[in-house]
Amino acid sequence: MEVAHQSNKKSKLTLYIVIAMILGIVAGYLVHNNYSPETRKTFADNAKLLTTIFLRMVQMIIAPIVFATLVVGIAKLGDMKTVGRVGGKAMLWFITASLVSLSLGLILVNIFKPGVGADINNTDMAAVGDLLEKSKGFSLAKFVEHVVPRSVIEAMATNEILQLVVFSVFFGIALTAVGKKGEPIISALDSLAHVVLKMVTYVMYLAPLGVFGAMAAAIAKNGLGILGTFGKYIGEFYLGLALLWGLLLLVGYLILRHRLPVMLRRIASPMSVAFSTASSEAVYPKLVEEMERFGCNNKIVSFVLPLGYSFNLDGSMMYMTFASMFIAQAFNITSITGDVGQQIIMLLVFLITSKGIAGVPRASLVVVLATGAMFGIPPEGVGLILAIDVFCDMGRTMTNVLGNALATAAVSKWEGQLEHT
């Protein structure tokens, strides 16, 4: 009865999210077509407040849930050998998936050539300014600063998941090493994790409002017409995502077999929220909950998912090579478009630099700006795609969620820790 009740609530939430998405599109379309640019901007800013409220409610949960679940997970894993084995399997998946995603984006953009003939006068440099500031100073030093926390409180305050993972891993290992003296702390953190997961249930009631605000703001500001203007670029990118989904689901089926459809039903609600809000953070707590309900061991979930949020962003990875080559084609940069060797080098650089900038809005574009500069790709090119980036961000964020769910389920299966529910 309890399982049926939970499933019914989950399906209702997914339905409400879809309805909110449709209403948001309709509201945004009506505002865009019937009001002045000033009114449209005001409406978009106010509608986005609904999304801001929802995202902030989720963000306030992320730090405690990452810390509590990861520390308890490591403590339950028991020793460094097990931690190393699970971490090694996870990183093998992450690196392989990243290389496949980057390569697929590179292959497709070379086949379709969406940038050839693009109107390079249609750039929005004013909007690129903020991204340029974020991409400046990108270096090995910045990468180290991003990975290694100087204060766990600062990492929690800014939701730097990778820094939280580093601290939590050290804390969990130390907690295991002290033996019985650490048991009360493990018990307390285990209780904290359950309390925070209950908070997730309450916060998700606000998801339809957040979805409505995000869709209404995006359509009111840009209009549906922009989808036609950049239809070729968006369509070919989503075709790439569909192919990537096919590869991920094929591998998922080979590992999970008949359990794959069950997992997809479990994560339908988190994926719909991710698509609508274009925010991976918005679904992290809910994804933890659903993967545990699917049957993944909580110690595997709490260890692999936070790592995945930093290292396993399949949709974002594909977009980096796709967007960079689009810009190179639009500006006819033959040193890139005509040199396969340079493209492969750029792909490998993206594999590394994508781990150096995270936890910021439009992180993919920030990485494209920072890395593209090394290969002569002009920042003006980002202005070409900035207006429609939110629509691409929806697809790549949902793909990131799918990739991390599959990685968690795969590692659980390999560890013999996937229960039938």
Q: Residue 421 — pLDDT band, cuts 50, 70, 90?
A: low
**Tokens of residue 411, six digits:** 């590692």
Helix, strand, or coil (residue 395): helix
Q: Tell me, what's the pLDDT at 189?
A: 92
Tokens of 299: 């110690």
Q: Taking residues 344-373, what's their average pLDDT?
A: 76
Give Cα 224 to chain centroid, integer Å.
24
Q: How far apart are CA 347 and CA 327, in angstroms?
A: 15
Specify the range with the lowest mean pLDDT, choosing from 23-32, 114-123, 211-220, 297-306.
114-123
State both tokens at 154: 């600062």
- Distance CA(286)–CA(362), nearest Å, equals 22
Q: Tally the residues of the chain.
A: 421
pLDDT of 361: 52
The residue that leads in pLDDT, 112 or 135, is 112
How large a percentage of the chain has pLDDT more than 90?
A: 42
- Residue 159: the pLDDT is 81
Q: pLDDT at residue 136 above 60?
A: no
Q: Which of 87, 116, 104, 99 is nearest to 305 (CA)?
A: 87
Q: What three-state secondary structure class fits 241?
A: helix
Token reading at 120: 């390079």
List the beta strands (DSSP E) in 274-315. none
More confident residue, 34 or 117: 34
Q: Cα angle at 203 between 188 and 146, to 5 degrees?
A: 70
Residue 92, both tokens: 């093998």
Residue whose C-alpha is closest to residue 126's, from 369, 361, 379, 373: 379
pLDDT of residue 4: 45
Looking at residue 143, its pLDDT comes to 67
Q: How confident is the model at residue 358 (pLDDT cuts 50, 70, 90)?
A: low
What are the pLDDT digits (tens) for 176-220? Answer: 889 889 999 999 998 998 898 888 888 888 889 998 998 898 889
> What pLDDT score does 140 carry?
63
The answer on pLDDT for 228 being more than 80 is no
Angle of CA points 334, 335, 339, to nearest 5°: 95
Which residue's entry shows tokens 């995945």? 308
Q: Write the single-letter amino acid at 161.
A: I
Residue 184: the pLDDT is 94
Better-predicted residue by pLDDT, 185 or 122: 185
Per-residue pLDDT tens digits for 75-100: 877 777 888 899 899 999 999 999 99
* Residue keyed to tokens 């929690």: 156
Query: 1 pLDDT exceeds 50?
Result: no
Q: Between residues 99 and 363, which one has the greater pLDDT?
A: 99
Q: How confident is the model at residue 5 (pLDDT cuts 50, 70, 90)?
A: very low
- Quick one: DSSP state of residue 355? T
Structure-token pair, residue 200: 């997730």
Nearest to 221 by CA among 389, 381, 365: 389
User: What does the block give as tokens for 417?
Assistant: 């820790």
The C-alpha angle with vertex 353 and arms to 387 and 318, in degrees rounded to 5, equals 50
Range of lowest pLDDT (116-120, 164-168, 295-299, 313-317): 116-120
The mean predicted confidence, pLDDT, of the chain is 85
pLDDT tops 90 at residue 73: no
> In which residue are the tokens 């209950």 written?
198
Residues 6+ apart with CB under 8 A from 46: none
What is the arithmetic mean of pLDDT over 331-346? Answer: 90
Q: What was the pLDDT predicted at 231? A: 84
370: nearest Cα among 38, 31, 125, 135: 135
What φ, ψ does residue 123 adopt, rounded to 5°? -100, 150
**pLDDT for the residue 3:** 42
* 25-38 tens-digit pLDDT: 999 999 999 999 99
296 phi/psi in degrees, rounded to 5: -70, 140
Give the chain's domains with CATH numbers: 2-64+84-414 (1.10.3860.10)
Q: Residue 402: name the closest of 249, 195, 174, 255 by CA.
A: 249
Terminus-to-terminus CA distance in the chain, angstroms? Answer: 14
Which of 108-122, 329-343, 400-414 is least confident? Answer: 108-122
Phi-psi region of 249 (alpha: psi -120 to 50; beta: other; left: phi over 0): alpha
Per-residue model confidence (pLDDT) at position 309? 84
Nearest CA to 412 out of 267, 284, 301, 247 is that of: 301
pLDDT in tens, 233-282: 999 999 999 999 999 999 999 999 999 999 999 999 999 989 988 888 78
User: Worst-scoring range by mean pLDDT, 2-11, 149-158, 335-344, 362-371?
Assistant: 2-11
- What pLDDT score was predicted for residue 101? 96
Q: What CA–CA distances, in Å, run from 198 to 21, 205, 291?
A: 25, 12, 15
